[in-house]
Chains A and B, each alone.
Chain A
Amino acid sequence: MNYKNKFSSETVVLSLLLKFLKINWLIIFCLAFLGFVGVISLYSAAGGSWDPWAKNHLIRLLFGGILMICIALTPTYIFNKFSILSFFLGLIALVWVKFFGTGDVARWIMIGGISFQPSEFMKLGLILILARYFDYLPTVHLESLSTYIIPLFIILVPGLLVISQPDLGTGLTIILLGLAILFFVGISMKFIIISSLLIVSSIPFIWQQLYEYQKNRILVFLNPEMDKLGSGYQIIQSKIAIGSGGVFGKGFLLGSQSRLNYLPEKHTDFIFTLISEEFGFLGSMSIILIFCLLIGLIIRVSLNTTAIFSKLVAFGVAFLLFLYLSLNIGMVCGLLPVVGAPLPLISYGGTSLLTVLIGVGLVLSINVHEKKI
């Protein structure tokens, strides 16, 4: 017994070690790089101080990193099993915030002194349950439209819940993410055309349902000069910060726009403007490239794996990262309306950081547990 026990525990340690070595370290490098950029940007945003953001961010990164490694070492099938549960937990949390949420807009939930946004975790729950659904489904059924009715519900229920919080940015991210997975898995083109027509025709209706501030944001996006000191102020000042950065930037800690508080939300959603101002075109482009590299690495995992569940989870995480990136940067440089969209790993905010790290953890797990053929 003893021997056997000893043997098995040794096996576990050995297998963990082997798994650990199989982790895709290039992905870890990308994450670490972006996290490091986040820390120094927050240091600069505070005017050259570790408080109040940079230190916390570093702690969160370390904690999230450990969590990510743990997930990476966990066999993928366990997530497959828990996917439905995680989705419904997320849904319950969303309903909970709707009625008992804290914060000036009901987005936050408090558990044991830690507040978080269930809408961020919902993105992962959505990826998992959709992957589970299509994994469970016999492939023949993929051709028929009726197969997609349930996934559409799975996508729209949390999406609309989040939009009604109100959080247009995250809600749309969830819906886009879900639709991208449907598209990836092979929904027929006919359906896509019909549904996009439906969406276009429902725009006036959606417009009516929007909150006044959401309407304003979109209007101001179309013409930022309309409200120079109000909603348009953010976009104008953000563009000034980016534009004045030039090729090489004004230098670390020397961004006048951020230092003199012209940048709103410079530590959260608008952190990229600070980077652009202080590190210029080269700095901002290298961040985009590292992000693209990360996305590419994750997609490679998706392409290399055979199981539908793993494929879709990896694809979902990659697409989620892409959505974060394009929404955030598109917003700060004035290509998209100002909707709340964090820049994961860099902007200050625990939930999106954790979401991304857990998501990448799932991808790493897929990569680690992939059976080589």
Chain B
Amino acid sequence: MKNKNIIKLNKKISRRFIFLSLIKGSIVGAISWRLFDLQLIENQKYEKLSDNNQFDYHLISPDRGRILDRRMRLIAGNEDAFHLVLNWNQNLNTDNIIKRISKVINLEEKDIVSFKNKIKNIDNNFSKKIVITKNLSKKDLSKLVVRSVEFPEITFFMSKRRIYPQGNIVGHITGYVGGITNKNTKNYNNILSTDLKIGKSGLEKFFEKELTGKFGRKRNEVTSKGFVIESHVYENTIPGKDIQISLDMELQAFAIERLKRGNLKIQNINSVNNKKNNNSFFYLDDNNHIYKDKNNNIVDPNSGSLVVMDIENGEILCSVSSPGFDPNIFSNELGTKEWEYLKKNPRSPFLNRSISGVYPPGSTIKMAVALAALESGLIDYKTKFFCSGSRKLGDSEFHCWSKDGHGKLNLIEAIERSCDVYFYELGLKVGINKISLMMKKLGLGQYYDLEIDDRAKGVVPNKEWKLKRDGLRWSLGETLNASIGQGYILTTPLQLVTMTSRLASNGLKITPTFLIGKNKNGFESLKINNEHLNYIKRAMERVVIGENGTAKNYKIGNKNIEMAGKTGTVQVVRISETEREDGVVKNEDRPWEKRDHALFIGYAPSSKPKYAISVVVEHGGSGSSVAAPIARDVFKHLFGFKQTG
């Protein structure tokens, strides 16, 4: 009985045993298949994932190319910048560390604030590197290095910082660099690539490709905690190319200084009890100078633009816009206060007036009008018109700047004395479309192929333009306004200097450039009658040397080298008839924004034109008394005359 049962049990056990073995076998089979799948079939995928874990790829930014002026002076370069970095982990008392560091060096408030924000926003517990400041001076660096035993948590990191040794005199042209925004960054150790700066404006932006060079690549072996074990550079960087531009920094510095001063008096701030004029946006320049007007009120320095061009090749030697900004502020982390200060400044220091600022050209346009008339054959050199001080057109009266009129005069006299009535007559004779064609021929109302992207086109109006813009017909009165450079017409200082060059070069299609040697193949001709051009040029010479010339007080005074040019005074507000009868309020007595713009365009030497200039002093007063002397002094500087006063 018992035996039978045992046999039965044994039978059962062996059945169950086989059953269990099958289950076990299939489980082991499943595991083996899983391993086969992972290690053989999907091997490549996991190898890649493992590599991603193991290695952290970085770009190494190359040294950015320098920007040099025509005499190889440094305009934009690089400087070693030291970063102070904290090797963060969750056990650190960051406040305490900052406190201890602050005892050794001065940390800037904005750095501490942004550091604390970064600490606040940490979302996982992996240790990582957090920048405390990117702006460590060499002195502070050595102070901390000496005490490195006390600060085991901090390390240093070296990178390049963009510097602009010329400060704010050429900020508009160079532009500035800034970080890349909206870039996905890995959560650790990517200091290098986040530190990458790209050109944001000006030449830095235009030549971004050339200046940047080629990125290197680096492979870091990192642990799961983000520590770099080994670093391997497998693609070297190629530094960016240097760019040489046509500007002459010495001239630039002189020009901005001269433009800012204008006819104002200059005083060192230390020698005055500085009473700040609250209404004015008090602008202190690098030299701690303040500016005073005739009545000894502290005022802002002149704002405006000054451009000098080499007539032979269109190279721009000097392009000044005042007030300027110092591009260095963007290389450091810009504090909100500084930014607000610059942004709120009503004189818009970020506006590059030379290229993006538009102004009515005023009387400086008269050569174009005269040339249009001569080319059309409607007048000749002898044609005279009578100026009584105003010209009636229908019900309206168009005034000459000279209340009593100029009497009977020919073209040369009209330009020399800048008679408005003469040009009203010309405008009526020639018509707006021919005038606008000539303006365009001379370079107004168009973009040039320039190395700076932010350009203004300006406006050269004609009948079609007005119809398209307003749906209205052109009126004759508007032709009169256009003939003296008022009304719709708008030009940039760069366009004015280009126009001057084209006139002075006897009708070559000169285009401006910031690059040396770009136009070495010369220019094509505009096909303007040379005789006409010579005539115009003679008139421009008379403006300076003629006894009635509007700029007769500002001769260079050298027989061989004299300038020729044209003044322009641009009315900003309309003068009503009643005002005119009551006597026009003197320019100085109006609020700054309502004063006239002072313009001057010119070239020198008048006998063999070499340089062309355009000067715009915003709300500066009359072109002859404010803009002409600035141009004269710049020419004098260019030709190496000693300056007086």
Give the B-binding residues of A (Cβ under 8 A): 138-140, 142, 180, 183-186, 229, 237, 239-247, 256-257, 260-262, 276, 280-281, 284-285, 288, 292, 295, 299, 303, 308, 311, 315, 319, 322, 325-326, 329-330, 333-335
Contact = CB atoms under 8 A, between A and B. Distances in A.
Contacts of A284: 35, 39
A239 B31 CA distance: 13
A140 B47 contact: no
Contacts of A239: 38, 46
Contacts of B222: 260
A326 B31 contact: yes
Contact of B53 (A229, A256, A303, A322): A256
9 contacts: A184-B20, A186-B12, A243-B45, A260-B229, A261-B223, A261-B225, A288-B32, A299-B17, A326-B28
A251 B53 CA distance: 18
Given A186-B16, A240-B53, A246 B224 contact: no
Candidate in B36, B39, B221 with the most chain A CB atoms within 10 angstroms: B39
A243 B31 contact: no
A247 B40 contact: yes
Contact of B13 (A237, A245, A311): A311
A247 B28 contact: no
Contact of A244 (B20, B35, B46): B46
A296 to B, nearest CB: 9
Interface centre among A142, A240, A292 (most CB of B within 10 A): A240
Interface of B: 2, 5-6, 8-9, 12-14, 16-17, 20-21, 24, 27-28, 30-32, 34-36, 38-40, 42-43, 45-47, 49-50, 53-54, 124, 221-225, 229
B47 A322 contact: no
A60 to B, nearest CB: 26
A237 B38 CA distance: 13
A288 to B, nearest CB: 6
B39 A245 contact: yes
A243 B28 contact: no
Nearest to A308: B9
A280 B54 contact: no
Q: Most chain-B Cβ atoms within 10 A of its Cβ — which of A237, A244, A245? A: A244
Contacts of B17: 184, 299, 303, 315
B5 A244 contact: no
Contact of A330 (B14, B31, B223, B229): B31
A213 B14 CA distance: 41
Contacts of A256: 50, 53-54, 221
A247 B40 CA distance: 6
A260 B221 contact: yes
Nearest to A296: B21
Contact of B20 (A142, A180, A262, A281): A180
Looking at chain A's contact residues, the main secondary structure is: helix
A304 to B, nearest CB: 12
Given A260-B221, A262-B53, A333 B34 contact: yes
B24 A285 contact: no
Contacts of A311: 13
Contacts of A315: 17
B24 A242 contact: no
Most buried by B among A186, A325, A334: A186
B53 A333 contact: no
Contact of A140 (B5, B30, B43): B5
Contact of B30 (A185, A237, A292, A335): A335
A142 B9 contact: yes
B13 A243 contact: no
Contacts of B20: 180, 183-184, 319
Contacts of B47: 243-244, 246
A183 B2 CA distance: 21
A322 B29 CA distance: 13
A319 B13 CA distance: 14
A70 B45 CA distance: 49
A184 B10 CA distance: 10
A263 B613 CA distance: 72
Contact of A242 (B46, B124, B223): B46
B35 A186 contact: no
B9 A242 contact: no
Given A184-B13, A184-B17, A303-B17, 18 more contacts: A183-B16, A239-B46, A240-B49, A241-B50, A243-B46, A243-B47, A244-B50, A246-B40, A256-B50, A260-B53, A260-B222, A260-B224, A262-B53, A280-B39, A285-B32, A299-B17, A299-B21, A326-B27
A335 to B, nearest CB: 6
B224 A261 contact: yes
Contact of B39 (A237, A276, A322): A276
Contact of B31 (A245, A299, A329): A329
A276 B49 CA distance: 16
A103 B42 CA distance: 39
A261 B224 CA distance: 6
A322 B49 contact: no
A325 B25 CA distance: 12
B614 to A, nearest CB: 63
A312 B331 CA distance: 80
A112 B2 CA distance: 48
B232 to A, nearest CB: 14
B224 A247 contact: no
Contacts of A240: 46, 49-50, 53
B295 to A, nearest CB: 71
B31 A288 contact: yes
Given A241-B50, A246-B47, A333 B31 contact: yes
A-B pairs, 6 with minimum CB distance:
A243-B46, A244-B50, A281-B39, A139-B5, A243-B38, A256-B54
Contacts of B24: 295, 322, 326
Contacts of A281: 35-36, 39-40
Nearest to A318: B24
B31 A246 contact: no
Contacts of A288: 28, 31-32, 35
A183 B223 CA distance: 48
Contacts of A243: 38-39, 42-43, 45-47, 49-50
A213 to B, nearest CB: 18
B34 A246 contact: no
Nearest to A233: B224
A150 to B, nearest CB: 19
Contacts of B43: 243-247
A280 B46 CA distance: 13
A186 B11 CA distance: 10
The residue in A247, A256, A303 that gathers the most chain B C-beta atoms within 10 A of its C-beta is A256
A292 B26 CA distance: 12
